[in-house]
Amino acid sequence: MPSSESSGGSVWLRPERPPRDRQLTRERIVEVAVAVLDAEGHRGLSMRRVATELGVTAGSLYWYVHTKDDLLELALDRVLGEVRAGPGTSGWRDGLAALARSNRAMLLRHRWALSELTVRPNLGPNALALAETGLRLLESAGFAGTDLDAALAAVNDHVVGAVIAEVAWRDTLARMSGTGSGWAEQAADYLRQVAERHPTLAGRMAATGEIDVERESERRFTFGLDCLLDGLATRCATPSPS
Amino acid sequence: MPSSESSGGSVWLRPERPPRDRQLTRERIVEVAVAVLDAEGHRGLSMRRVATELGVTAGSLYWYVHTKDDLLELALDRVLGEVRAGPGTSGWRDGLAALARSNRAMLLRHRWALSELTVRPNLGPNALALAETGLRLLESAGFAGTDLDAALAAVNDHVVGAVIAEVAWRDTLARMSGTGSGWAEQAADYLRQVAERHPTLAGRMAATGEIDVERESERRFTFGLDCLLDGLATRCATPSPS
DNA sequence: ACTCCTCCTTGAACAGTGTTTAATATTCTT
DNA sequence: AAGAATATTAAACACTGTTCAAGGAGGAGT
């Protein structure tokens, strides 16, 4: 019988067994899982892989973790714990921006976490702590009630959306440069059609061709974030940094 | 040998075979795939499932589609084709808002599409057409250069991020109500700890408990969107609806 | 020291996955 | 009608997550 009875609900409702002997721990398992995910990507994670990495059979893991989904939920919350609010930030606006940046940095470090976010409701302790600090910042700005929720959600949404777009962009470039010969002709055909049908898009693509993805993604992120914070500032009681 | 040589690149570079006989088509396959995805979710899609749904063996599909990933790429672009710019919209701001709303509606209709967006660069014809209309709207607002890209990205990011959050919320509620007895006690314990450590979050959760998810999600979405559009309006040459 | 009992780990199995490949129909071309 | 090209099948391969009976191992009780 695995780590607790009553199989429904979230992992967080099923506490870990008290220790005795153990060469294994949830801690260690999650740690290895994150390492594998970072190294091999979302597809590279399998129970057997984590098990062999720990010198153990696949079945053993199920003593500590109900299912692979639970493991992923734990892994997700673990990396969410890496997000920190900057230390000496003055005012809600800077604080929120710092939090958003830290969040973005984490998502770029662990790109698999994005796909998890879309599939899995996320109620781990680190996720909740993160929500709390965000809420406090916005509260200090004068937001309250449902506007508080909406404001925090808007910032988080921008972070998630921006990283998704950035990762997709990078992957596209990586894929295009990673293909063998004979690719150029087909691509050229396709691109010509695109250019005919979508002139302004073609213009932007041409201009974006030689740009540093890293810097440009950063720029877009701050652009959107600034827009958002401007919009928020006009809607709260404390428009200036307090 | 499947639908074309030269295995690299995107599906879009590998045109469909010219027809002859065919009980199968890319069209039909993608159509069924979307139907299965809508009905059974991301996990429910398998080559064999699509095949039997078409009265055919799994192997046959590989004559029309290189891999399952290709099929998903096609399915994603197909649903992206459902997004429409509202017809009689006046000014860039309303147009962009209408586009964002249509986009959101589509993502809520096909929730699996979200997870695909995070994993798959997306260069299908419908995706490109969508980008084009967005760019045109923002161009008419006076945006140009990299600001144009950044502005469009910001709007799209908000849509994607907001739907992710909404779906996660709904799934959480669905999961919580779907669990058997014995769940309440553990959840109560966990929630008590959360409330102690995170007072303002606890306050919001209490207030959110009895709220209609549908309406509140809608509200948050428009809140964030308005913030964003306000921010954009102050940054472009055509602040008033043109 | 012996048993008992609970905790942990194993190894094998099950059903299902994506994908390949040789063999086979089926249809078009000559 | 012969042959080539196209389309489909059935079977196999190497995987996957998950379950489960079986067994080893340490602590508690007597």
pLDDT digits 0-9 by tens, A65-106: 999 999 999 999 999 999 998 776 788 999 999 999 999 999
Interface-testing mutation among A157, A172, A212, A235, with chain B (most B C-beta atoms within 10 A) = A157
pLDDT digits 0-9 by tens, A19-47: 555 678 999 999 999 999 999 999 999 99
What span, in angstroms and rounded, lies between the C-alpha atoms of B107 and B160? 8
What span, in angstroms and rounded, lies between the C-alpha atoms of A44 and A59? 18
Question: Which nucleotide is closest to B20, CA to C1'?
Answer: D6
DSSP summary character for residue A240:
S
What span, in angstroms and rounded, lies between the C-alpha atoms of A228 and B207? 25
- Residues 73 to 132 of B: which have CB under 8 A from any A CB? 114-115, 117-123, 128-129, 131-132
What span, in angstroms and rounded, lies between the C-alpha atoms of B24 and B187? 50
Distance in Å from C10's C1' to A112's CA comes to: 31
Tell me whether residues A235 and B228 touch, CB distance under 8 A.
no
Yes or no: say if A231 and B231 are a contact pair by the CB < 8 Å rule: yes
Task: Decide: CB of B58 under 7 A of nucleic strand C.
Answer: yes
Query: Which residues fall within 8 angstroms of residue B239, CB to CB, at 6 or more apart?
Result: B233
Confidence class of residue B3 from pLDDT cuts 50, 70 and 90?
very low
What span, in angstroms and rounded, lies between the C-alpha atoms of B127 and B77? 6
| pLDDT of the residue at A17 | 53
Percent of chain A predicted with pLDDT > 90: 62
| pLDDT of the residue at A14 | 58
Distance in Å from C6's C1' to A25's CA comes to: 18
Tell me whether residues B135 and A201 touch, CB distance under 8 A.
yes
Task: Decide: CB of A68 under 7 A of nucleic strand D.
Answer: yes
Ordered alpha helix ranges (H), chain A:
26-40, 47-53, 58-61, 68-80, 91-109, 112-119, 125-140, 145-177, 183-197, 199-208, 213-233
> Whose CA is closest to B113, among B157, B84, B74?
B74
